[in-house]
Structure 1
Amino acid sequence: MKFNLVFAVCVLFSNHVQAKWTSANASIMGTNIHVEVWAEEASLAENAIQTVFDEMQRINQLMSPYIESSELSKINRLAALKPVIVSEEMFNLIELSVGLSMETEGAFDITFASVGFLYNYQEKIKPKTVQFNQAVKAIDYRHIHLNPKKTSVAFDHPDVKIDLGGIAKGHVVDTSIELLKGLGIQHALVTAGGDTKLLGDRRGRPWMVGIRDPRNKDKQAVTLPLSDNAISTSGDYERYFEQDGERYHHILSPKTGKSVHEVQSVSIIGKRSTLNDGLSTAVFVLGVQAGMDLINKTPGYEAIIMDKHRKMHYSKELKR
């Protein structure tokens, strides 16, 4: 009888502990979403996770280039014809994107979409030469004109299109964590594709965050112990196809309009996911030397780069 009592208590204790960690997955914004939260009550955990999923859907409806009614699609349709008044959230993110373009000397540039929309990676379609040569002229962040007083966006080139795919997921991870804080959550993880942000630690120990091997989805190239921090990874394996021995992927050089091949993946570690997201793209485009030079002079941000020869490179502080 004593054995049965002890066994029952152990089972109850085990269930009670396991119930505090709650996780869920979803497919939103064209990527995999993963959320883990620690909460005393199951109802709070469920509400917290649903809050994150709702936020992801909200941002998707606002910033998806594939949804005709989105604010981003409206900008792409009309901004070359007249200034388009946009929400403060959209204006701020475009303004930040243009600022990153200036800081990275154009390595990060949301007008890459002027060429990028001509690719269909699932169908292995690339732009025809005539299309490409016309569209590549529109890639230049200086074609974007912002009016802070009116929160309006205008383009000075008829073929300009923008895509926030290189920064929007970082943004929604940031906003999701803030919403969780507002609900009283103190320990959580939110992942949207290659962007992960951590709230607190994993109850007394760090989160172990893996950076996947660019050529083996089942293998981790690096595993990092992180707490109350964020990490974003850009890789040439996210959206791509191979044709005639060449790899066509979605990270395009704003200078050439073509896929960049000096590196296979870039991970940026820093407190703000929005900046991590943009910087990971910029460093990918810049390559190992120029990319590391940028990160080493950016306080609070670190980088891990795997080059095309699969050699790992670390920023100064990570080396230490």
Structure 2
Amino acid sequence: MYPIRPLLFLAALFATGSSHADWHYDQQAIMGTEIHLQFWVNDDSKAGEINRAVMDEFRRIDAALSPYKENSELSRVNREAGKGTVTVSPELAEIIDKSLHYSDSTGGAFDITFATVGSLYDFRKGQKADTQTTENLLPAVNYRHIALDKRKHRLAFKDPRTKIDLGGIAKGYSVDRAVAILQSFGVHNASVSAGGDARLLGDKRGKPWLIGIRHPRDKSKNAAVIPLENTAISTSGDYERFFIDSDDHRVHHIFNPATGLPTDTDAGDEDGKQGADQDKLISVSILGPRGFDTDPLSTSVFVLGKRKGLALIEQLDGFEAIVIDADHRMFFSSGLQQ
């Protein structure tokens, strides 16, 4: 278990960082988000090599798993797996296997086949799939259509229309890979984040890392700041990628596989009315040992809603949750309520 100090509400996002020469920092745009890296190294001459190794790993994963890169392995799978069995890399087989594990354990709330419909949305242009297309494709949104032989690294889709997207797990996986690289260089204190997924290695040289949970409706504020060390945290929210449609409805990127639509979070939200559906969530943060697990769990809890989502986390050893509902109220799993 990871040590958690008392929560501090509505505070600053991160500590400003030490000016000590042995702290090294970098920020780069990779995987469609900002990658932030901070680490302590005793030998400054190795800092550049360490930094390059970490960022190169993010680029490698992006090149392999991006659905937007025509030559990525994921794009090849989406073109070919619906036509017949394809051979995939051991890495992709492992990630899909982990995804299927969370699909089973969440009753389908986590489902990488959401991309069958989700790929038709363009959040930059404010475009979404029409109702008839969504209804026609919905039967192809089902993780049970994925036939994976993990041992032989063979994969096929039982419905030729099915597509997959690893956006709900790849960044968590990538921050774990970054930490593994840092450890291979002998680094013991570091923070690495990719969008809403972060992994902390050790503490901040005698004090905790301060990780902020953004206020879901005011990006200049935080809902909470959590002092943490040696853990992972993943946050999913309806504010990360979204647009407002012609009906004044928030259309965001976290899909409910059961409907083929973005998970509904609108009730009582934009106008601040109380009494919204109390189960609907607009932000979910999961704490646990690895991003490979906290990332899919944050998506799962978001889709499941407050009651079922928190119940899921209570069943899992080593994980905690902080959720914010559509009325902007914050709730915690039992391990954080003190």
Partner residue of 1:223 out of 222, 225, 241: 225
* 2:336 is the counterpart of 1:318: yes
- Alignment gaps of 5+ in structure 1: 1-15
Alpha-carbon distance in structure 2 between the residues aligned to 1:149 and 1:103: 21
| Partner of residue 71, structure 2 | 69
* 2:234 is the counterpart of 1:247: no
Structure 2 length normalisation: TM-score? 0.89
| Partner of residue 153, structure 2 | 151
**Stretch deviating more after TM superposition (35-44 or 79-88):** 35-44
| Partner of residue 268, structure 1 | 286
Alpha-carbon distance in structure 2 between the residues aligned to 1:282 and 1:149: 26
Alpha-carbon distance in structure 2 between the residues aligned to 1:214 and 1:47: 37
| Partner of residue 3, structure 1 | none
**Matched residue of 1:133: which SS?**
helix
Alpha-carbon distance in structure 1 between the residues aligned to 2:168 and 2:249: 23
Alpha-carbon distance in structure 2 between the residues aligned to 1:30 and 1:223: 25
Task: Quote the sequence identity (%).
Answer: 47
Structure 1 length normalisation: TM-score? 0.94
Pick the structure with more helix per residue. 1
Alpha-carbon distance in structure 2 between the residues aligned to 1:95 and 1:149: 10
Cα RMSD after superposing both structures: 1.1
Letter in 2 for 1:41: D
Letter in 2 for 1:65: P
CA shift for structure 1 position 226: 0.3
CA shift for structure 1 position 132: 1.4
| Alpha-carbon displacement from aligned partner over 1:156-199 (angstroms, at most 9, x marks no partner) | 00110000000000000001100100001110000000000000
| Alpha-carbon displacement from aligned partner over 1:65-85 (angstroms, at most 9, x marks no partner) | 001111100110000111110
Alpha-carbon distance in structure 2 between the residues aligned to 1:84 and 1:159: 16
Alpha-carbon distance in structure 2 between the residues aligned to 1:19 and 1:46: 13
**Stretch deviating more after TM superposition (218-227 or 44-53):** 44-53
| Aligned ranges 1:161-310 → 2 under 5 Å | 161-243=163-245, 244-260=247-263, 261=265, 262-310=280-328
CA shift for structure 1 position 17: 6.1
Task: Tell me which stretches of 4 or more aligned residues in structure 1 moved more than 3 Å.
Answer: none
| Partner of residue 48, structure 1 | 50
| Alpha-carbon displacement from aligned partner over 1:110-137 (angstroms, at most 9, x marks no partner) | 0000010010011000112222122222
| Aligned ranges 1:82-101 → 2 under 5 Å | 82-101=84-103
Alpha-carbon distance in structure 2 between the residues aligned to 1:178 and 1:148: 23
| Partner of residue 5, structure 1 | none
- Alignment gaps of 5+ in structure 2: 1-17, 266-279
| Partner of residue 21, structure 1 | 23
| Partner of residue 110, structure 1 | 112
| Alpha-carbon displacement from aligned partner over 1:18-56 (angstroms, at most 9, x marks no partner) | 211111100000011000010123232222221111000
Letter in 2 for 1:118: L
**Matched residue of 1:19: which SS?**
coil
The answer (yes or no) to whether the contact 2:97–2:150 under 8 Å persists in 1 is no
